[in-house]
Structures are given as structure tokens and as C-alpha cells.
Amino acid sequence: MISVASAPPSPLPSAAPASAALEADLIWQQCLFAFEEPSIDASFQQVTRTWLDDESWVDHAPRWLGGSDLVVAELVSKLPWRQREVVMYERVLPEPRLTAWWDVHDGGEPLPVLEQARLELSRRYARPFDSIGFNLYRDGRDSVAWHADRERFHLENPVVAIVSTGLPRSFQIRPKGGGPSSTWQLGHGDLFVMGGACQHQWEHAIPKSASAYGPRLSIMFRHHLADTGNTSHDTSHDTSSDTSHDAGDAADAARYWR
């Protein structure tokens, strides 16, 4: 587990069902860090692999993306953020995070370093990464419940590569259906890759956190277009996988947004 301490910024404004663009702009104003030029570690020298079982593995490379604070600030200001609605127990509630999407039909990536990352990840993992999902967790009240990524419905063993920027948050993995979980603290440019049978036999989550005082932006590289034969430009993709929510999520969302 990697824990990185930093001085807390001013608290984020209270989240409310305002426009996603306004929410993103408010977060961008919090990103007043000492910026460095973004770059990736194309050597992958810091990658360590953990086998979850005989068929499933995860790779972790701390701070694989350099200059990640600048990446957060630019993506938060550039991307067309939206807040989807989810149905939970016959109630329609705003999903507790903001999302955006890019794929090869959109032309160039939002930032040049994302193209570099996508191409290097494709070479490293022998997968044609062609899509990027962006999930913005504004503070510790934003979260996503236990799930596995949707590519498992189409691909035998999909690879999902995640670059976590912003402040670290707990990324948890457990056996599908429940069981003991493992936790990684991901942020500040960490690379985390799930492969093998991970999406079939394991599930992951970002739990709520009372101590998370700032934003985390998850950049998820996927290869579902090439493998499913989907050549149409569909902007309705689910950027985090399944949007399953349990009773606790429903109650929290109701308190969060009322």
C-alpha cells in the first residue's frame, strides 16, 4: 500500500445538483499545485505484478504519469463533464461523480500525453486500446459500488488500464460475490492494470471516504471497440463499468443530493 501525505487544500464547495461544468470548474480552481510537464514512464520499470489467483492479476506502477497535477487541471477544464442519473430503488438520483468519454472516432486525445500513454500501454499489454473513460470523484462523498467492467460480456480476458490522478483514494478488489478485499491507495499518476480473468472472477470499488478532502480523476484505457466490432460513434458509454448500487449507496445518495 502506498500512502502519500500532502497539505489539504481548502474544502471543496458543497456538492449539489448543479451543472457538471460548474462542478468541474470549481474543482479546477482547487488544483493550485506546483505543476510539471506531463510525461509517462515508457520503460515500465516500476511495475510490480500481483496474482489474485491462478488466472487473474493486477499491475501497479507508482507515479507512472509525471506531471499528473497539471493533467488533472487541464482535463477538468477541457472535458465535457456530465452527471448521469441512476435508478436506485425506484428513485432517480444523480450519480455521485462526474464522467466523460473519448474514443478514436473523436480525433486526437484531449491531451498529447494521453496519446503517448495509450500507445505505450497498447505495446506493453498487446491490446488495441481505443477508448478512454474519465471519472471525476470530487471529494470523499463520491464513490462507485462493487462491480466488474462491462468488457467481460464481450471479451474473454479484457485488460483495463487505469491512471489515477489527483489525491489518493482507496481502490478495493475482492472475489466476485464477496470475500476478503485488498486495497491500493491510488493517485498522483499511479498506473493500475487489471488483466487475465480479473473482470470475470473479481470486482472492484471506490468506497466513500470521510478523509478524502479533494478530487481524484480516474483515466481508464479500454479496448472494447476493436474487440466487439463496434465501429459506430456512441457517446453513451458507461465510463466506469456497471453502475450497480446497493442499499447503502441509495441512502447515501439521497442524503448527498437532497
For the chain, the maximum distance between any two Cα atoms, rounded to a whole number of angstroms, is 49
Supply the pLDDT for residue 138: 92
Read off the pLDDT of residues 116-160 as tens digits, 9 standing for 90 and up.
999 999 999 999 999 999 999 999 898 887 777 665 455 678 899
Residue 112 in 3-state DSSP? helix
Supply the pLDDT for residue 31: 53
Greatest mean pLDDT among 112-116, 201-205, 254-258: 112-116
- Angle at 237 (CA atoms; ends 235, 238), nearest 5 degrees: 145
Residue 236 in 3-state DSSP? coil
Amino acid letter, 27: I
Q: Does the pLDDT at position 66 exceed 50?
A: yes
Read off the pLDDT of residues 164-211 as tens digits, 9 standing for 90 and up.
999 999 999 999 989 999 999 999 999 999 999 998 999 999 999 988
| DSSP secondary structure string for all residues of 130-167 | -EEEEEEE-STT--EEEE--GGGGT-SS--EEEEEEES
Q: pLDDT category, 246, cuts 50, 70, 90?
A: very low
User: How many CB atoms neighbour CB 34 within 10 A?
Assistant: 6
pTM: 0.76
Supply the pLDDT for residue 103: 93
